[in-house]
Chain A
Amino acid sequence: MPLKNALCAASALALLTATGATAETITIATVNNGDMIRMQGLTDDFTSANPDIELEWVTLEENVLRQRVTQDIAANGGQFDVMTIGMYETPIWAAQGWLVPLEDMGEDYDVDDILPAMRAGLSYEDTLYAAPFYGESSMVMYRTDLMEQAGLEMPDEPTWEFIAEAAEAMTDKDNEIYGICLRGKAGWGENMAFLTTVANSFGARWFNEDWEPQLDSREWSEAINFYYDLMTNYGPPGASTNGFNENLALFQQGKCGMWIDATVAASFVTNPNDSTVADSVGFALAPDTGKGKRANWLWAWALAVPAGSDAKDAAKKFVAWATSKDYLELVAENEGWANVPPGSRTSLYENENYQDVPFAEMTLQSINAADPNNPTVDDVPYVGIQYVAIPEWAGIGTSAGQEFSAMLAGQQSPEEALQKAQTLVADEMEAAGY
């Protein structure tokens, strides 16, 4: 009897060990947004086709995630097998050798179908290091009813001059309607993302070709003064603390005439469950000043495999699934075309069903109008539209952002803010050895 028991125990143990050896677990670090949550709900499709791979999710707030994955990858912690990273990190990390190149992703993957702007921003030395899960640009969202009341018509390609005119006409402070809502909250991914695109459209640039900061230029002064006047006269009160969410709330409650922000907002403001103005929203390209660059950015949340992962093949298999054409169809089948993650593949925009989605065309045009390798009117030594793809950017962007946020809060003039930003960027760059 004891022998029988021992045999049973031994076979159970062997079975357990065998199962443990074949099933591979990959840990995926991701952000909390609608598209990512939807993906988590659809992973049965992946696991049923790959029963030998188990998925574990770590969902974190964007800033926490960024800090967490940076720390893990820099220390080679090996905590994650798939990381959700942005366009800013990808080329920097790839240059450090921290990411696995995404080559040989399978026969059906069709890497050439990825939108060219996305592919360029997520590559390093012509090799793709992160696969776009969804991409976004920025555009003008406006209230068609207020625009009509004001007797104006929004062109598809507005100028900043027109935006200022429309903002003035739509503002009705007695009824808490503000002509324009823009980001004011300090941060490199907050107000500086937006202000950098405004600067680009006014012909300004962060650095000249010798890496000298240019915030004391006439173009920067024009851009910042324009933003300051626009927001002080026609913006909502307390705008210096408004980020994406705050402006989204204001727009959904009908308090903004126009809002220039991420294209992904289009699906929120047109959703009748959350938005009181869902049926009267129009879209237009981000404004310009006629100098050849529009104030639209380019961003992608992409999936990458860290070099420290011990399950690289399984991780790549998952990345290939989540960023494939089939995945887009899977979402459409289950959740409808409006919920398909936008901005990653050309074929999506050629799909007739997707063309019926009201914001599809404007999103594609906005993305196509953005070129991270050639972001400004004058030549620059850096890549990136609403950021500068150097490791120092997060620090200098945030510090400069604090100056412009303080300016909007009335604590200093645009000239003072620019002067301080110029000094701190110059110091920082000198310390970094540029």
Chain B
Amino acid sequence: MARAVSTRRKTLTTVAAWAVGLLIFFPILWTFLTSFKTEATAIADPPVFLFFDWTTENYSVVQERSDYMRFLWNSVIIAGGSTLLGIIIAVPAAWAMAFVPSRWTKDILLWMLSTKMLPAVGVLYPMYLIFIQLGLLDTRIGLTIVLMLVNLPIIVWMLYTYFKEIPGEILEAARMDGAGLKEELLYVLTPMAIPGIASTVLLNVILAWNEAFWTLNLTAASAAPLTAFIASYSSPEGLFYAKLSAASTMAIAPILILGWFSQKQLVRGLTFGAVK
């Protein structure tokens, strides 16, 4: 009897999970489908789902009009660079907070997180002026630094949570075996926290890839990433939804594929320490 209830429950949970999953995925699926429609079919009412004349015309128009590879390359460098830089800074910071806490650690952590509560637009002008002074406007390095700063609190918090799960005794044992700080961080702590670091990296690459405030405001032509590529296809005067969808699909495809292949790692990292 107990088994029957459990099976029914399992089925219900599975159906519910699929339903929620499909609901969340639907906008992406719709964008993908729209990218193969003509502009007239894209706005058809009632909307057509699968049975329309599929066309790749939107993709060729987008290819012809924009230098997709340049935007993609900028996105890769900015998202990858900011994450790498963030990890390099956050690992020692999180180590210190997790293993050598002081009476201020909790406050510092909270203070770091509080910077995320300020709307970005509130510091747009100071940031813009600093960028002009330093000659960083429309440069990949400038954007890499900004995105690193924006995501740093999250990186530190995530790593701190993972590090807390690692018994301090192991590090102590390493120290007793003669490991210095560098060895302890590089050869003992990092390998043990690999799942956590991997999911932090993945999440931050995704966040940096999708960041559309700073990337639009601090770039013009040379450092513009894929968010600017999408923005260039949006138009309030003219129905270009199919082309916009094609541009969006091209922009999210790389990160979607990355997420797909690394979902195991992502889920493992995100649920790390959730069940004790």
B43 contacts the other chain (Cβ, under 8 Å)? Answer: yes
Residue of B nearest to A264 (CB): B237
A68 touches B39 (CB 8 A): no
B220 touches A80 (CB 8 A): yes
A245 touches B138 (CB 8 A): no
Chain B, interface residues (CB within 8 Å), range: 20 to 34
B238 touches A33 (CB 8 A): yes
Report A240-277 residues with CB < 8 Å from chain B CB: 243-245, 248-249, 252-253, 255, 262, 264, 268, 273-276
A245 touches B40 (CB 8 A): no
Report A35-83 residues with CB < 8 Å from chain B CB: 37, 40, 56-64, 67-68, 71, 75-80
B235 touches A75 (CB 8 A): no
Known: A79-B220, A253-B45. A60 touches B132 (CB 8 A): no
Partner of A77, one of B43, B132, B235: B132
Q: Which residues of B contact A57 (CB under 8 A)?
A: 221
Known: A40-B65, A79-B138, A253-B45. A61 touches B236 (CB 8 A): yes
Alpha-carbon separation in the docked complex, A152 to B259 (Å): 60
Per-position binary interface string of chain A over residues 300-336, scored 1 when its CB falls under 8 Å from any chain B CB and 0 otherwise: 0000000000000000000000000000000000000
* Selected A-B contacts with CB under 8 Å, 11 pairs: A31-B235, A32-B234, A56-B221, A56-B222, A58-B228, A62-B236, A67-B217, A68-B217, A243-B236, A249-B239, A274-B39
Q: Which residues of B contact A34 (CB under 8 A)?
A: 238
Interface size on A, residues (CB 8 A): 41
B237 touches A62 (CB 8 A): yes
Alpha-carbon separation in the docked complex, A29 to B232 (Å): 11
Partner of B216, one of A29, A64, A273: A64
Known: A61-B231, A249-B239. A71 touches B45 (CB 8 A): no
Per-position binary interface string of chain B over residues 36-54, scored 1 when its CB falls under 8 Å from any chain A CB and 0 otherwise: 0011100111000000000
**Which among B43, B45, B236, B239 has the greatest number of chain A C-beta atoms within 10 A?**
B236
Alpha-carbon separation in the docked complex, A157 to B38 (Å): 36
A374 contacts the other chain (Cβ, under 8 Å)? Answer: no
B233 contacts the other chain (Cβ, under 8 Å)? Answer: yes
**Which among A76, A80, A274 has the greatest number of chain B C-beta atoms within 10 A?**
A274
Known: A75-B132, A76-B132, A273-B40. A29 touches B236 (CB 8 A): no
Using a CB–CB cutoff of 8 Å, the interface residues on chain B facing chain A are 38-40, 43-45, 65, 124-125, 128-129, 132, 137-138, 216-217, 220-222, 224, 228, 231-240
Alpha-carbon separation in the docked complex, A272 to B45 (Å): 17
Alpha-carbon separation in the docked complex, A304 to B220 (Å): 17
Alpha-carbon separation in the docked complex, A37 to B232 (Å): 11
B142 to chain A, nearest CB (A): 12
B132 to chain A, nearest CB (A): 5
A32 touches B125 (CB 8 A): no
Alpha-carbon separation in the docked complex, A32 to B205 (Å): 29
Residue of B nearest to A187 (CB): B236
A274 touches B240 (CB 8 A): no
Residue of B nearest to A61 (CB): B234
Alpha-carbon separation in the docked complex, A430 to B43 (Å): 45
